[in-house]
Chain A
Amino acid sequence: MTDPIKYFASRVTASEMNRREFIGRSMAAGLTLAAATSLYGKAAMAQEPKRGGHLKLGLQGGASTDVIDPAKSSSQFTFAMNRNWGDTLVESHPTSGLAVPSLAESWEPNADASVWTFKIRKGVEFHDGSELTIDDVVKTLNRHTDEKSESGALGVLGSIKGIENKGGDLVLTLSEGNADLPLLLSDYHLVIQPGGGYDNPSAGIGTGPFKIDNFEAGVRATFVKNENDWRTDRGFVDSVEMIVMNDATARMAALSSGQVHFINRVDPKTVGLLKRAPNVEIQTTSGRGHYVFIMHCNTAPFDNNDLRLALKYAMDRETMVEKILGGYGKVGNDFPINETYALFPEGIEQRSYDPDKAAFHFKKSGHDGSVLLRTSDVAFPGAVDAAVLYQETAKKAGIDIEIKREPGDGYWSNVWNVQPFSTSYWGGRPTQDQMYSTAYLSSADWNDTRFFNTNFDKILLEARAELDQAKRKEMYHDMALMVRDTGGLILPMFNDFVNATTTNVSGFVDDIGNDMSNGYVASRLWINS
């Protein structure tokens, strides 16, 4: 099966594509009608989930410092755990990225998107048998927005000023309009807990498809099926076991020997090897995470836009994706948004490697001598190799890049967001607004390119409160161009999430929201045999 067809099949399995569409596209991709029809049958059959069995996951990203308290979730492991036992008010759609109902049935904004009313689902039971009430929701949000809170969602919810129960509905009042508010509530920290989780936040009582059975931080977590789950389209297995496996080779060995059904963080360098195992299927999902080279726009010599442009043109993006990501990624265009975002600005010309233009701008900038780039392997996987590759392509444009390799320990406090030119990584955000607000707004804590543009700030705040999607899309188009052409961001690539499953499980959904099928992997997979 060729890759596009495999992709179409997975769309069918995820009910994202119908028969006509599938057969049409598969034939366009080179299949005969008969082959396409039979393939559709297979893919559609795979839609019938089988129930039962014990699902085992081998996951990178757990540590003995992990806690169940969702407010303090900070690892990949607890992220996936939260999705197992808890629910948020809103979820994001696997392919469109738009907000879809979960514990909140529906919502309405007021005219300027500053007051939102959520209808909360009735008849949902927590694991301890108590019924979900509006009070639980209010208290949960209170706990995460309290100024004294240590919640990882504190920053996301910063603009929420009022959380009230008005006649059985949840009413959120914001300090400024925000058209994306529902999506913010899909943050994995915001698991709705009985009593808001004030009493015992680590009890792990939620409304999710699985109940926590046992948890040993940094070792493993086991779950059993929640028989009173309010949804029937998830949680197909009887029990789940998540094992912390921080060593990439250990994960690969465990998967290819059939000891686990799923692993995350497959190393792009070894995907080829893993593919050879007959019982393994690689699951790649386009991600919003991106690997970046960041220049401080206010620090010499990077305060010169010609030098910044020269350095942007000196980047060979295609080769980066091929060599550093092993092909598991997409080329970037020097603004932090890709087509996985709703309202992605289309029609912006792809910037590509151009030694002549680079040389032209470099000369125009008046800078001579080398440019110092700081990097470290912790910046992103393969960061040092990427820097060397960049050094080579820049050399052809007559730009001498000097690489300084920094120790990984302390890189995030001493180099990133401190030194004027360094390599770094950004995980995506649910919305464009959040991505720009986190790192490109003049007043952002993490304005790591020192991008100060009052016009940009103005449009960003206007777009945030704009409910007319067409207008909003135009605004995001303008903002993307500003960052691309005047900012300090060189964004060569967006990395895919590379996971792998054994062939005897089905149901994996390529969810653009985040890694591991947006964390829902355990509730979406089922075991075939």
Chain B
Amino acid sequence: MANPLAGVRAARHRLKETHPLSVLIAERLGLSVLLLWAVSVLIFAGVEALPGDFAETYLGQSATPQAIANIREDLGLDRPITTRYFEWLGGVIQGDFGNSWASGAPVTEQITKRLGNSLFLAFFAAAISVPLAVGLGMVAVHYRNRIPDRVINVLSLAAISLPEFFIGYILIVFFAVQMGVATFPSTVYDNMGWSERLAAIALPTATLVMVVLAHMMRMTRAAIISVMSSAYMETAELKGLGAFKAIVKHAAPNAIAPIVNVVALNLAYLVVGVVVVEVVFVYPGMGQYMVDAVTVRDMPVVQACGLIFAAVYILLNMVADIVAIVANPRLRHPR
């Protein structure tokens, strides 16, 4: 054997035969890290390319050339971009995102709090919307083209067609301003009691549920319907299985892959895409944090947020793929 690479390839092949799932996951993880690195380069270059710089933007109308120069020197902005990039990357690998330029506070500490808030909201929105969407999807299939199906479809389409800020405002006007039953603004802070916290997030959670529900529900419905037209479903029907039982036992497992995919996408959205909802409800999450940072070109914060957002997306997509593979053994051995 002259070629050592061939040996590696053979070993990999053997491993793949014995532990197909572990190899797949390991490969995915490796790929994810590579992707994250690429994202870090893109973010760094992107923020650098934005017009305006931190010192100017941060000082605003009180900027003097002297103060600007002081800040630039303080932060080492006069050094070349590559040097700064590698220094930053070195820190990130050790879990240190550096200090915010604007506030001087450690980014990691601030992000932990903000990410916690975002996850808190996302968790409740997901805990309500995912079972609801899948359940409603199944109900819709069961009553396909009949009144319940139509009602579910029309309502969910209406909800998805309205922009989220609009839904938010309507909920605020109705429940907070007119009826006075809901807590608004939804600001959460340290040392806040659990019940207060839950009351605070009621309206934003409801908004998010309405926003993501239709997407997942319709995908569930479509996926199950497409499975329903396959031969084995006909068999199930012929052997006398009840319609609902057939959906749950035979159709649903085979429809898992597309459903999980769309669920993952929506979960990712719940964490990283809810800036508008955060603004409307005055909720201190990650999105708001990143927008603030972009406005003043607070690079360490923007980069950290960008990386975390990318990581959430990559992670959830990876989980979705793995779940799909587990659910469908055929995917483990790609032809």
Contacts and interface: CB of A to CB of B under 8 A. Distances in A.
A468 to B, nearest CB: 31
B64 A67 contact: no
Given A246-B279, A247-B279, A253-B172, A147 B62 contact: no
Given A154-B66, A410-B52, A220 B296 contact: no
Contacts of B284: 64, 216, 218-219
Contact of A413 (B51, B281, B295, B296): B51
Nearest to A412: B52
Contact of A259 (B57, B114, B176, B292): B176
A388 to B, nearest CB: 25
Residue among A64, A147, A220 having the largest count of chain B Cβ atoms under 10 Å: A64
A64 B104 CA distance: 11
Contact of A64 (B58, B61, B292): B292
Contacts of A244: 282
A155 B62 contact: yes
A130 B236 CA distance: 84
Interface stretch (B13-21, B29-37, B146-154, B183-191): B183-191
Interface in B48-80: 50-53, 56-62, 64-67, 70-71, 74
Given A219-B189, A259-B184, A65 B50 contact: no
Given A150-B74, A412-B56, A155 B67 contact: yes
Contact of B103 (A154, A189, A217): A217
A382 interface: no
A277 B116 CA distance: 36
Contacts of A258: 180
A220 B292 CA distance: 15
Interface residues of A, number: 44
Nearest to B188: A219
A64 to B, nearest CB: 4
A216 B185 contact: no
Interface string B288-306: 1100110110100100000
Contacts, number: 128
Contacts of B124: none
Contacts of A155: 62, 64, 67
Contact of A148 (B64, B70, B180, B282): B70
A226 B296 CA distance: 33
Residue among A219, A244, A246 having the largest count of chain B Cβ atoms under 10 Å: A219
A249 B177 contact: no
A65 B58 contact: yes
A286 B19 CA distance: 75
Give the size category of B's interface with A: 35 or more
Contact of A257 (B58, B70, B176, B281): B176
B169 interface: yes
B280 interface: yes
A246 B74 CA distance: 30
Interface in A277-321: none
A150 B169 contact: no
Contacts of B102: 63, 65-67
Nearest to B58: A74
Nearest to A446: B61
A249 B169 contact: yes
B108 interface: no
Given A150-B67, A154-B66, A249 B184 contact: no
B177 A253 contact: yes
Interface in A224-278: 243-247, 249-250, 253-254, 256-259
Contact of B288 (A154, A218, A409, A412): A218
Residue among A152, A220, A250 having the largest count of chain B Cβ atoms under 10 Å: A250
B273 to A, nearest CB: 17
Nearest to B117: A219
Given A150-B74, A219-B189, A410-B50, A64 B293 contact: yes
A147 B73 CA distance: 13
Given A67-B102, A413-B51, A253 B189 contact: no
A63 B296 contact: yes
Residue among B114, B281, B284 having the largest count of chain A Cβ atoms under 10 Å: B284
Residue among B52, B74, B102, B185 having the largest count of chain A Cβ atoms under 10 Å: B185
Contacts of A489: none
Contacts of B52: 409-410, 412-414
B59 A250 contact: no
Nearest to A253: B172
A158 B65 CA distance: 12
Contacts of B100: 65
Contact of B289 (A154, A218, A220, A257): A218
Nearest to B65: A445
A151 interface: yes
B142 to A, nearest CB: 40
A345 interface: no
B11 interface: no
B173 interface: yes
Interface string A442-453: 000100000000
B280 A220 contact: no
A218 B292 CA distance: 8
Contacts of A355: none
A246 B289 CA distance: 12
Given A64-B103, A65-B103, A155-B64, A409 B51 contact: yes
A214 interface: yes
Contacts of A58: 185
Interface string A150-166: 11111100100000000
Contacts of A218: 284, 288-289, 292
Given A64-B293, A216-B189, A216-B284, 20 more contacts: A58-B185, A63-B102, A65-B296, A67-B104, A150-B74, A151-B67, A152-B62, A152-B67, A217-B103, A219-B284, A220-B187, A245-B282, A249-B280, A254-B185, A254-B282, A257-B177, A412-B56, A413-B56, A413-B57, A414-B51
5 contacts: A64-B292, A65-B296, A155-B62, A214-B190, A413-B53
Interface of B: 50-53, 56-62, 64-67, 70-71, 74, 100, 102-105, 110, 114, 169, 172-173, 176-177, 180, 184-185, 187, 189-191, 279-282, 284, 288-289, 292-293, 295-296, 298, 301
The 6 closest A-B pairs by CB, nearest first: A410-B51, A65-B102, A152-B62, A63-B292, A155-B64, A219-B284
